[in-house]
Amino acid sequence: MPETPRHNLPAEPNRFVGRERDLDDLHDLVGDTRVVTLCGVGGIGKTRLALRVAARLVPAYPDGVWLVELARFGRAELVEQEIARVLGVREEAGRPLLGTVTARLREQRCLLLLDNCEHLVHRCAEVVAALVAGCPSLRVLATSREPLRIASELIWRVPPLDLPDEGAADAESVQLFMDRATAAGTRLDGASLADVVRLCRALDGLPLAIELAAARTSLLSPGQIADRIDDRFSLLTTGGRTAPARQRTLLGAVEWSYDLLAAKEQVLLRRLSVFAGDFDLLLAEQVCAERPIAANEIVELLGGLVDKSLVLCDEGRRRYRLLETIKRYALERLRQAGEREVLRERHLHVLCALQERHFATEVVEPGVPWPRRFEALIASRELIDDQRVALEWAAESGDVLLGLRLCQTSTGLLPLGGNLREIVGWIERLLSLDTTGVPAEQIAHAMAYLAYGLEAKDELSRSLETARRSLAEMAPDDDFPRCVMHNLVVVVLLRMGRAEEAAHHAEEGLTVATRSGDRWNQAASLAGLSAVALVRGRLREAQRHGEEALARAGEHGHRWLMARTAVQLGAVAEARGDLAAARTRYETAVPWLSELGSDLELSRCLARTGRVAAMLHEFGSARERLAAGTDIARATGQRQAVARCLVGLSVLAECEGDLEGAVLAAAAAAGLRESIGQHSATTRFEELLGRARTKLGDGRTTSLWSRGRAMCPDVAARRVLAGERLPPKAAKAPVTAEPVRHSVLTAREQEIAGLLTRGLSNRGIAGELVISPATVARHIANIMEKLGYTSRAQIAVWAAERSSGSG
Amino acid sequence: MDQRIVMVDSGTGLKLTEEQLDERSAVAAVRLRHKGVRAGDTVLICLPVGPDLLVATHAVIAADGVAWPLPVDLDQATLRDRIQESAARVMISNVQRALDAAEESRVRIVMSVAELSGASPSCPTGR
């Protein structure tokens, strides 16, 4: 989609100072090298430099520049999960996520920026090696305290900022200090320059240390800061004498800044280390307000920490975060204060309470207008990383009860929120722990969500069994999850072809939901009844239930539910042959799904809309819908979704009279489905092949089918979308270098190239031209660089051909 | 080209011809350029006396750089000081002690001898 930005780089929080030459060099190196790793100690400015380089490179990567922040993740398997999340790739059944990501990036020219790899360096190395091996045009820029140590890596050591010389005081480090002091509201005159120079030297040009010092200039003069820093460093023992000097300097500066904080600011800073990533004021107030800090003091304390550059915030002061280096220091302090367990516990409780509230507002409570529900959905999604951290702690500390409660309170962890598998992992992990003392009803409730996840993973019989156990053991008055289970069972049984049993559960669900006034489940049950009726061929009944379902869904307001029921009505209309009505129904769901960002369901809905539009011979809009659906499907990496769009494209091609294109697209879809072990919709294909054999003949049809099977799905899709006949294989760009114009060489260089054809050595050429051999060597290096050659012999051959050609 | 011998490795007895010297240093000069070496840049070279040192030195000069050789047997502290003093961005070395001494310096890129002789700019022949 052209309107989506081709990067996810954050806005720069303040002015970037210095490193011009480094930026230029790195710009070229990243283009030239598969993997560049910026290495160096914490606080030296790796991330900032990488972001700056990446921002400059955005125009060079048509498929985007994508930042993947790894600092907040503790487990190795989260590396590929986070890459997938950033790219919008969804895990497929039966294929490792890394495989899907690699396939998605294979043809793409994009740059991945992996930030803070050090704590997961082994997994990062494996993932990057696999991606680079599988994706020829991919470039990776990483930041890490340790190099990845893989074959294609260029290790680039980030140095501190330039230090001032005796004479020139405009060094980068001094510029940075001045800039940040000005930002802190301090005006420094020329008289303090000598102190600033002394201070920058004492801080070894480390950007973070300089920023922390500059943030204090409103209270202390540069001279006072320099004196105190000097005293401190002479006493510094933290980090041990063996730690590298820069690390000790940095730690010293952080500690100095921390010690200058008021007591309550210190307490708050260390408590802030429990958050996964960025956080807002509300969360900070709820988690961190405990003796000696009151909740209403937090906004002021946070402001103080921002002023001292220990906490960062966005322009609107809405989201706050800690730099990784500060966070580690704060966490250590939290441990030393003996508060880590207490704070983790609190974090878990608060997350539970917040997510329960958001879930109730988004889904359960009656009469909430959609904008409020949507707000709750967004708020819940913003907490998802903290929710994961809290779940991790629940599992680690064996708090199964709270862990399970937290699992069932967030649509972000559910297939409903586009997250197909994660819920299964968490619940299975928690249930594998000691569950003594956890009420059976609680376990049954959690199993409901497990069953939900299993259905999304296509594990139908396990899902059914889990759902039945959940229903049997759930508290009788747990109406909402009880109905959710009935409705899930309906879906599972329908997928298994057991409509009779499904009808029973749909009715049961509808009864309970109607009794409790639960619009969500009323709509879901009615949609289930409609689906059952459709399977049984009772179209009028299906229509009636479907309309009622849509009405209930509309009263509830949740766009996901409304889209689901609208699509159900579309399917009913299609079944009775009313294509125009079907199209209208499908079309209404599109903006709802776009608003939710439900990419998989959106792609599916666009495929349906496009297919029906094609059958109505509205080719322009059919093409547009199918193109959009295909783009989204491709971005998710889901082969099933791409196959669905190809089926739609096959219909479009046939309706347009392009039977060959129709066969190719259908064959490509069949090939994709086979690669994921699916063999559905064979009747549709058989009918198409029947028509093709009649019109094109057996041999032609068979050969088209096998060509389509082997075809890259993208090529097959483009073939129909562009309405053009592409050659069987994508035309490859010529491998040979473009013809070299000798005019790029200077006269002297051309002269030397000519002499090389005579087999002269550098010394021989030097004698001929009366210049030094070193100068000859320099000219030859220039010639090789200009012509892209890698040996002297190549120049000689080139020069010989040129002179024989022109002579 | 004549097969004039320009150097003998005293350890191995291997001979370096003038043709080899010209060819290898030309390739290495291009590799240095690709790693960002520009006119006037200082490049540290810490290699044992022998053909590799000669080739590296020629290459740095051909790439328009300033060669800054470091004897391999300097003690760690002196090595560290010399590296600091040079303010070099690039160092050519296979010597572990030199690599260690370059920690905390302004050296951005360390190139091994193998990387200097790599054939293609995008596929270094590092092991």
Instruction: Summarize the confidence of residues A1-11 as an average pLDDT.
Output: 75
pLDDT in tens, A581-638: 999 999 999 999 999 988 889 999 999 999 999 999 999 999 999 999 999 999 998 8
Give the model's pLDDT for residue A321: 92
Residue A726 clears pLDDT 50, i.e. is over it: no
Task: Give pLDDT, residue B88.
Answer: 94
Chain B segment 93-122 residues within 8 A of A by beta carbon are 102-110, 119-122
Note whether A20-157 and A343-475 share their fold: no
Residue of chain A with shortest Cα separation from B120: A790
User: For B20, which residue in chain A has the nearest alpha carbon?
Assistant: A761
CATH of A263-338, one of 1.10.10.10, 3.40.50.300, 1.10.10.60, 1.10.357.10: 1.10.10.10
Please state, in angstroms and rounded to a whole number, the distance separating the CA atoms of residues A118 and A548.
Answer: 55
pLDDT at A807: 40
CB–CB contact A793 B104 (8 Å): no
Pairing, β A139-144 against β A111-115: parallel
- Collect contacts of A494-500 with beta carbons under 8 A, ≥24 apart: A494/A528, A494/A531, A494/A532, A494/A535, A495/A455, A495/A460, A496/A460, A496/A461, A496/A464, A499/A532, A499/A535, A499/A536
Q: What is the pLDDT of residue B55?
A: 95
CA distance A202 to chain B (A): 15
pLDDT at res. B69: 95
Inspect the interface and report whether the beta carbons of B26 and A777 lie closer than 8 Å.
yes
Probe site for chain B from A780, A787, A797 (most B CB atoms < 10 A): A780
For residue B16, what are the CA distances in angstroms to A416, A761, B8, B54, B63?
70, 14, 6, 10, 21
User: Strand, coil or helix: what is B107?
Assistant: coil
Question: Which residues in chain A are closer than 8 Å to B63, comparing Cβ atoms?
Answer: 778, 781
Q: Which of B33, B61, B104 lies closest to A246 in CB terms?
A: B104
> In this model, does residue A427 exceed pLDDT 50?
yes
ipTM, interface predicted TM-score of the complex: 0.90
Residues in A closer than 8 angstroms to B101, CB to CB, are none
Run of H or E including A345: helix A340-359
Residues A461-470: pLDDT tens digits?
A: 999 999 999 9
Give the CA-trace dihedral at A596, A91, A711, A111, to 10 degrees: 80
Q: A61-87: per-residue pLDDT in tens?
A: 999 999 999 988 888 888 999 999 999
Residue A241, pLDDT above cutoff 70 = no
Alpha helix (H) residue ranges in A203-339: 207-214, 222-235, 245-259, 263-271, 281-288, 298-307, 324-336
Which of B19, B30, B107 to mutate to test binding with chain A, by most A CBs within 10 Å of its CB?
Answer: B30
Span A343-475 CATH architecture = Alpha Horseshoe (1.25)
Instruction: Enumerate the domain spans of chain A.
Output: 20-157, 172-259, 263-338, 343-475, 598-729, 742-806
| Backbone φ/ψ region at A204: left (φ over 0), alpha (ψ -120 to 50), beta | left
Peptide bond connecting A292 to the previous residue in cis, omega within 30 degrees of 0:
yes
Q: Which whole number is the average pLDDT over A93-107?
A: 90
Chain B residue numbers touching A32 (CB-CB < 8 A): 34, 121-122
Tell me which chain A residue has its CA closest to the CA of residue B121. A32
CA distance A744 to chain B (A): 17
B126 phi, psi to nearest 5 deg: -65, 150
**pLDDT exceeds 70 at position A500:** yes
Quote the pLDDT of residue A729.
Answer: 41
- Cα A30 from Cα B110, distance rounded (Å): 16
Q: What 3-state DSSP class applies to A42? A: coil
Is pLDDT of A537 > 60? yes
CA–CA gap between residue A41 and residue A347 (Å, rounded): 30
Which of A762, A779, A783, A789 best tests the B interface by mutation, with the highest count of B CBs <10 A? A762
Q: Which residues of B touch A763 (CB under 8 A)?
A: 18
Whole-number Å distance between alpha carbons of A202 and A230: 7
Write the single-letter amino acid at A265: E
- A598-729: CATH architecture: Alpha Horseshoe (1.25)
* Encoded tokens for A48: 């900032």
> What are the pLDDT digits (tens) for A325-372?
899 999 999 999 999 999 999 999 999 999 999 999 999 999 999 999
Number of structural domains chain B divides into:
1
Say whether A159 and B108 touch across the interface (CB within 8 A): yes
What is the three-class DSSP state of A622?
A: helix
Helices (H) and strands (E) in chain B, counts: 5, 6
* Residue A732 confidence class, pLDDT cut points 50, 70, 90: very low
Cβ separation B61–A29 shorter than 8 A: no
CATH code for the part of the protein at A20-157: 3.40.50.300
A-B contacts (CB, under 8 Å) = 94
Mean pLDDT, residues B81-105 taken together: 92
Which listed CATH number (3.30.1330.20, 3.90.950.20, 1.10.10.10, 1.20.1260.10) goes with A742-806? 1.10.10.10
Q: Does B64 contact A at CB distance below 8 Å?
A: yes
Residues from chain A that touch B25, judged by Cβ atoms under 8 A, are 777
Instruction: State the average pLDDT over residues A227-246.
Output: 66
Nearest Cα to Cα of residue A127 among A87, A167, A180, A171:
A87
Q: Summarize the confidence of residues A254-280 as an average pLDDT.
A: 93
